[in-house]
Amino acid sequence: MEYVKGKPYFTDCNSRIKQYPYLNDDKYCDILIIGGGIDGAIANYYLSQKYDVVLVDKGRLGFGCTSCATALLEYQLDDFASDLKPYMSEKEICLAYKMGLSAIDKISGFIEQYGNKCEFNLRPTFLFSNSIFSKQKMKDEYDFRIKNGFICDYFDESNNPFPFAIKSGIFASNGGCEFNPYLFEKMMIENAKNQDNIFENTCIKEIDKSHLGFTVSTNYGEKIYCKKILIATGFNWEILKTKDLCERFITYSVVTKPLENFSWYHSALIHDATTPYHYFRLLPDSRIIFGGEDTLYKGDGIKEKLSEKKYKKLEKDLKNLFQDRQDIQIDYKFCGCFGATNNNMGLIGESKFDDDILLFISCGANGIINAMKGVEALDDIWQHKDNELIDIFSPKRKNL
Ligand SMILES: Cc1cc2nc3c(=O)[nH]c(=O)nc-3n(C[C@H](O)[C@H](O)[C@H](O)COP(=O)(O)OP(=O)(O)OC[C@H]3O[C@@H](n4cnc5c(N)ncnc54)[C@H](O)[C@@H]3O)c2cc1C
């Protein structure tokens, strides 16, 4: 089944990158990570520092949904704090925001250690709406953040520094960062300790368990014997023979051709909260990556006709936003699947299938942020340590 369609910009521009072999022998390890997208790569980098880890991917590393991530990495969540209250306490919502800020620091630290080989930049975030109906909600969100110590400014028509119309908005100067998701994934993979235990083009077909542990079979019959399994297969759950881990959506993106003399206020990462919402940012060569127009994914592939309709709508909305630019031309169109939960958090931790099969599935618009912090919760589960993130990420939690 398809989870990505079109020509994703990030892999198209950077496809000539080191490849890893396929597995052609049996292997023993403590932890097997199935899936080498950005989630599997993050888990592999951190866990291989402590454990004996094997990572396998059925295709090329980073060519799944990772290749289409817009990579707006923000501390704010998909929903306003007021919408999250049925699913999380105020303390948990603040914890999720703080987790986002901490993930941004962690990404910065990683880049400082290995060098900036992935177009990383710290960026402010701007959440806005041009609808009069969202004005009160935006003000409430701003008050919530100020009350809880998050630094931000409130903008409206009277002080709007952006080149498009707004009715209300929240600008967080320390709110985010951006990178090329495919190149970041490569940095995680290539700096991991277990270089001889990373395999591409190796599909896992079957998982069996006995009192000795797991025996996992690949498409060509090789076996991997391991104590624990981490499912990092993105939004493809065929290996677990289930359909209902959480709701899945397709989100659509367009990338413009480079625009001359073009930028906006502090090159902020922008999220238009009006329904249907849009998210966008600038790429290093002055292109705009612009996404949204989500549709429910029913597990039956991505429909070509619907995708084309959504790309046209994105192009129209983008041109409407920047009406004084006559030179906006679309260069790339692509879409991919993502998972969504009620509290906007990923599915990270022990699964309902087996306590030794753990899920590592980042969800929502902040998937990558989830993965950067979620890996700490995993390690603490194994070490029987407390970690306040374990509950908000647990795949067994209520109200998914
Ligand atoms: C258009 C779009 C925009 C997005 N924008 C953002 C954003 O701005 N910020 C953000 O944080 N997130 C964003 N996301 C979400 C982000 O892309 C995901 O959270 C992230 O890519 C998930 O990574 P992953 O590694 O779990 O999945 P994937 O990249 O899909 O990787 C899963 C891997 O598992 C492998 N696999 C599957 N089954 C098997 C098997 N049986 N055996 C072996 N390997 C297997 C696949 O080949 C694949 O490579 C966006 C998503 C989309 C689609």
Q: How far is the CA of 82 from the centre of ligand 1 (A)?
A: 28
Q: How far apart are CA 25 and CA 189, in angstroms?
A: 21
Strand partners, 154: 170
Q: Is 55 in the pocket of ligand 1 (CB under 6 A)?
A: no
Report the SS3 class of residue 244. coil
Q: Is 6 in the pocket of ligand 1 (CB under 6 A)?
A: no
Which pLDDT score, from 0 to 100, does residue 15 have? Answer: 67
What CA–CA distances, in Å, run from 16 to 10, 112, 133, 225?
12, 24, 48, 32
| CATH number for the domain harbouring residue 154 | 3.30.9.10
Q: Confirm if 46 and 190 have CB atoms less than 8 A apart.
A: no
Q: Is 250 in the pocket of ligand 1 (CB under 6 A)?
A: no
Q: How far is the CA of 339 from the centre of ligand 1 (A)?
A: 10
Report the SS3 class of residue 233. coil
Q: Write the DSSP symbol of residue 66.
A: G
Q: Report strand pairing: 223-231 vs 269-272.
A: unpaired
**How many domains does the chain fold into?**
2
Instruction: Confirm whether 3 is domain-assigned.
Output: no
Q: Confirm if 350 and 381 have CB atoms less than 8 A apart.
A: yes
Do 109 and 204 have their domain in common? no
* Per-residue buried b or exposed e for 30-57, using 16+ beta carbons within 10 Å of the residue's own CB: ebbbbbbbbbbbbbbbbbbeebbbbbbb
Do 142 and 227 have their domain in common? no
Instruction: Confirm whether 398 is domain-assigned.
Output: no
| Structure tokens, 191 | 């700096």
Do 170 and 276 have their domain in common? yes
Q: What is the pLDDT of residues 181-197, one digit of tens each?
A: 999 999 999 999 999 99
Other beta carbons within 10 angstroms of residue 294's beta carbon come to 17
Q: Whose CA is nearest to atom 17 of ligand 1?
A: 69
For residue 379, give its domain range: 10-68+183-241+344-393
Q: Which amino acid is present at 343?
A: N
- Is the bond leading into 124 cis (omega within 30 degrees of zero)? no
Do 57 and 15 have their domain in common? yes
Do 203 and 269 have their domain in common? no
Do 320 and 231 have their domain in common? no
Instruction: Confirm whether 322 is domain-assigned.
Output: yes
Q: Is 336 in the pocket of ligand 1 (CB under 6 A)?
A: yes
Q: How far apart are CA 377 and CA 397, in angstroms?
A: 15
Instruction: Confirm whether 174 is domain-assigned.
Output: yes
Identify which of 112, 129, 241, 233 has the alpha carbon closest to the alpha carbon of residue 177.
112
Which pLDDT score, from 0 to 100, does residue 243 have? Answer: 72
Domain boundary among 295, 310, 340: 340
Q: Is 339 in the pocket of ligand 1 (CB under 6 A)?
A: no
| Structure tokens, 44 | 């592999």
Atom nearest to 361 CA in ligand 1: 26
Q: Whose CA is nearest to atom 6 of ligand 1?
A: 69
Do 162 and 308 have their domain in common? yes
Atom nearest to 252 CA in ligand 1: 1
Q: What is the pLDDT along the chain (400 residues), one digit of tens a residue?
A: 789 999 999 998 886 678 999 999 999 999 999 999 999 999 999 999 999 999 999 999 999 999 999 999 999 999 999 999 999 999 999 999 999 999 999 999 999 999 999 999 999 999 999 999 999 999 999 999 999 999 999 999 999 999 999 999 999 999 999 999 999 999 999 999 999 999 999 999 999 999 999 999 999 999 999 999 999 999 998 888 887 789 999 999 999 999 999 999 999 999 999 988 999 999 999 999 999 999 999 888 899 999 999 999 999 999 999 999 999 999 999 999 999 999 889 999 999 999 999 999 999 888 999 999 999 999 999 999 999 999 999 999 887 7
Do 273 and 324 have their domain in common? yes
Q: How far is the CA of 395 from the centre of ligand 1 (A)?
A: 18
Do 63 and 167 have their domain in common? no
Instruction: Confirm whether 2 is domain-assigned.
Output: no
Do 374 and 329 have their domain in common? no
Instruction: Confirm whether 125 is domain-assigned.
Output: yes
Identify which of 375, 380, 139, 393 has the alpha carbon closest to the alpha carbon of residue 246.
393
Do 98 and 164 have their domain in common? yes
Q: How far apart are CA 81 and CA 167, in angstroms?
A: 19
Q: What is the pLDDT of residues 179-238, one digit of tens each?
A: 999 999 999 999 999 999 999 999 999 999 999 999 999 999 999 999 999 999 999 988
Q: Is 68 in the pocket of ligand 1 (CB under 6 A)?
A: yes
Instruction: Confirm whether 123 is domain-assigned.
Output: yes
Which pLDDT score, from 0 to 100, does residue 186 have? Answer: 96
Task: Tell me which residue has tokens 């950077």.
Answer: 14
Ligand 1 pocket mutation pick from 66, 107, 121, 249 by most atoms within 8 angstroms of CB: 66
Ligand 1 pocket mutation pick from 67, 70, 344 by most atoms within 8 angstroms of CB: 70
Q: Confirm if 4 and 67 have CB atoms less than 8 A apart.
A: yes
Residue 307's contacts (CB-CB under 8 Å, 6 or more residues apart) are: 5, 6, 250, 252, 333, 335
Ligand 1 pocket mutation pick from 177, 224, 233 by most atoms within 8 angstroms of CB: 233
Do 80 and 36 have their domain in common? no
Q: Is 40 in the pocket of ligand 1 (CB under 6 A)?
A: yes
Instruction: Confirm whether 1 is domain-assigned.
Output: no
